[in-house]
A and B are shown apart, each in its own frame.
Chain A
Amino acid sequence: MREGPVIEVKNLVKRYGELAAVDAVSFEVERGEIFGLLGPNGAGKTTTIGVLSCLVKPTSGSAKVAGIDVTRDSLGARSRIGVVPQEIALYPTLSARDNMLFWGRMYGVAEAELAGRIDELLEVVQLAGRARDRIDTFSGGMKRRVNIAVGLLHRPEVLFLDEPTVGIDPQTRRSILELVKDLNDQGLTVLYTTHYLEEAEFLCDRIGIMDEGRMLAVGTKSELTALVGAESVITVRADGMDASLVNWLEPLEGVSDAALGDGDLTVSVTTGSNVLPPLVERLTSSGTSIHSIDVDVPNLEGVFLHLTGKSLRDEADEAPAEDPAGAKP
Chain B
Amino acid sequence: MRIIRIALKDLSIRLRDRNTLLMMLFMPITLVAIIGFALGGVAGGGISTVEFLLVAPAEEEEHLFMENEGELLTGAAANLMSQIEMFDAEVATEEEARAAVGAGEKAGAILIPPGFLRAVFDTATVEVTVLRDPVSRIKAGIVQSLAERLATYASAGGVAGRGVFDAIEAERELTDSERWKLGGWMFQWMSERWREPAIGIESSDVEEDEINVYAYFMPAFAVLFLLFTTVASGKSIHEERESGTYERLMTAPVSRTTFIAGKLAGSYLLATVQILVLIGLGTLLFRIGWGTNPLAVVVMAVVTAAGASSLGLLVASFTRTARQTDSIGTAFVLVMSLLGGSMWPVEQAPPAFQSVARFTFNYWAHSGFKKLAFADAGLAGISQEIGIVLAMSAVFFALSVALLSRR
With A and B bound together, what is the CA distance between A83 and B16 in angstroms? 28
Indicate which residue in A78, A79, A85 contacts B247 across the interface (CB closer than 8 Å): A85
Which residue of chain A lies nearest to B239 when distances are taken between CB atoms in the complex? A91
CB distance from A94 to the nearest CB of B (A): 7
Given contacts A98-B12, A102-B5, whether A78 and B245 have CB atoms under 8 Å apart is no
CB distance from A114 to the nearest CB of B (A): 12
With A and B bound together, what is the CA distance between A103 and B254 in angstroms? 11
Please, what's the 1-or-0 string for B1-44, where 1 marks a CB less than 8 Å from any CB in chain A? 11001100100110011000000000000000000000000000
With A and B bound together, what is the CA distance between A86 and B247 in angstroms? 11
Contact between B251 and A81, CB atoms less than 8 A apart:
yes
Contact between A103 and B252, CB atoms less than 8 A apart:
yes
Contact between B16 and A106, CB atoms less than 8 A apart:
no
Which residue of chain A lies nearest to B249 when distances are taken between CB atoms in the complex? A106
CB distance from B230 to the nearest CB of A (A): 19
Please, what's the 1-or-0 string for B61-76, where 1 marks a CB less than 8 Å from any CB in chain A? 0000000000000000
With A and B bound together, what is the CA distance between A121 and B245 in angstroms? 20
CB distance from B5 to the nearest CB of A (A): 5
With A and B bound together, what is the CA distance between A63 and B169 in angstroms? 120
Kindly list chain B residues whose C-beta atoms are within 8 Å of the C-beta of A107: 252-253
Indicate which residue in A53, A86, A94, A105 contacts B13 across the interface (CB closer than 8 Å): A94
The answer to whether B243 has its CB under 8 Å from any CB of chain A is yes
Kindly list chain A residues whose C-beta atoms are within 8 Å of the C-beta of B251: 53-55, 78, 81, 83
Contact between B12 and A106, CB atoms less than 8 A apart:
no
Contact between A55 and B16, CB atoms less than 8 A apart:
no
CB distance from A35 to the nearest CB of B (A): 18
With A and B bound together, what is the CA distance between A226 and B251 in angstroms? 37
Contact between B244 and A87, CB atoms less than 8 A apart:
yes
Kindly list chain A residues whose C-beta atoms are within 8 Å of the C-beta of B5: 102, 105-106
Contact between B244 and A85, CB atoms less than 8 A apart:
yes
The answer to whether B250 has its CB under 8 Å from any CB of chain A is yes
Please, what's the 1-or-0 string for A75-110, where 1 marks a CB less than 8 Å from any CB in chain B? 100110101011111110110001000110111100
Residue count of chain B within 8 Å CB distance of chain A: 21
Contact between A89 and B248, CB atoms less than 8 A apart:
yes
Given contacts A89-B248, A91-B9, whether A106 and B254 have CB atoms under 8 Å apart is yes
Kindly list chain B residues whose C-beta atoms are within 8 Å of the C-beta of A93: 13, 16-17
Interface of B is mostly: helix
Kindly list chain B residues whose C-beta atoms are within 8 Å of the C-beta of A88: 243-244
Please, what's the 1-or-0 string for B238-281, where 1 marks a CB less than 8 Å from any CB in chain A? 00000111011111111100000000000000000000000000
CB distance from A323 to the nearest CB of B (A): 29
Contact between B253 and A75, CB atoms less than 8 A apart:
yes
With A and B bound together, what is the CA distance between A298 and B65 in angstroms? 123
Residue count of chain A within 8 Å CB distance of chain B: 25
CB distance from B198 to the nearest CB of A (A): 72
Contact between A54 and B250, CB atoms less than 8 A apart:
yes
CB distance from B266 to the nearest CB of A (A): 12
Kindly list chain A residues whose C-beta atoms are within 8 Å of the C-beta of B255: 75
Which residue of chain B lies nearest to A150 when distances are taken between CB atoms in the complex? B248
Which residue of chain B lies nearest to A91 when distances are taken between CB atoms in the complex? B13
Kindly list chain B residues whose C-beta atoms are within 8 Å of the C-beta of A103: 248, 252
CB distance from B110 to the nearest CB of A (A): 62
Please, what's the 1-or-0 string for A23-65, where 1 marks a CB less than 8 Å from any CB in chain B? 0000000000000000000000000000001110000000000
With A and B bound together, what is the CA distance between A78 and B2 in angstroms? 15
With A and B bound together, what is the CA distance between A40 and B16 in angstroms? 41
With A and B bound together, what is the CA distance between A93 and B15 in angstroms? 11
Kindly list chain A residues whose C-beta atoms are within 8 Å of the C-beta of B1: 105
With A and B bound together, what is the CA distance between A107 and B250 in angstroms? 10
Which residue of chain B lies nearest to A88 when distances are taken between CB atoms in the complex? B244
Which residue of chain A lies nearest to B245 when distances are taken between CB atoms in the complex? A89
Indicate which residue in B2, B6, B243, B250 contacts A55 across the interface (CB closer than 8 Å): B250
CB distance from B47 to the nearest CB of A (A): 47
Contact between A78 and B253, CB atoms less than 8 A apart:
yes
Which residue of chain A lies nearest to B250 when distances are taken between CB atoms in the complex? A55
CB distance from A153 to the nearest CB of B (A): 10
With A and B bound together, what is the CA distance between A54 and B247 in angstroms? 10
With A and B bound together, what is the CA distance between A87 and B243 in angstroms? 7
Contact between A89 and B247, CB atoms less than 8 A apart:
yes
CB distance from A119 to the nearest CB of B (A): 20
Which residue of chain B lies nearest to A84 when distances are taken between CB atoms in the complex? B248
Contact between A105 and B2, CB atoms less than 8 A apart:
yes
Kindly list chain B residues whose C-beta atoms are within 8 Å of the C-beta of A150: 248
With A and B bound together, what is the CA distance between A103 and B1 in angstroms? 13
With A75-B255, A85-B244 known, 17 other A-B pairs at CB within 8 A are: A53-B251, A54-B251, A75-B253, A78-B253, A86-B244, A87-B243, A89-B244, A91-B13, A91-B245, A93-B16, A94-B9, A94-B12, A102-B5, A103-B248, A103-B252, A106-B252, A107-B252
Closest CB pairs A-B (n = 6): A87-B244, A89-B244, A89-B248, A83-B251, A53-B251, A106-B252
Q: Can you name 6 A-B pairs with beta carbons within 8 Å?
A: A55-B250, A91-B9, A93-B13, A94-B9, A103-B248, A106-B249
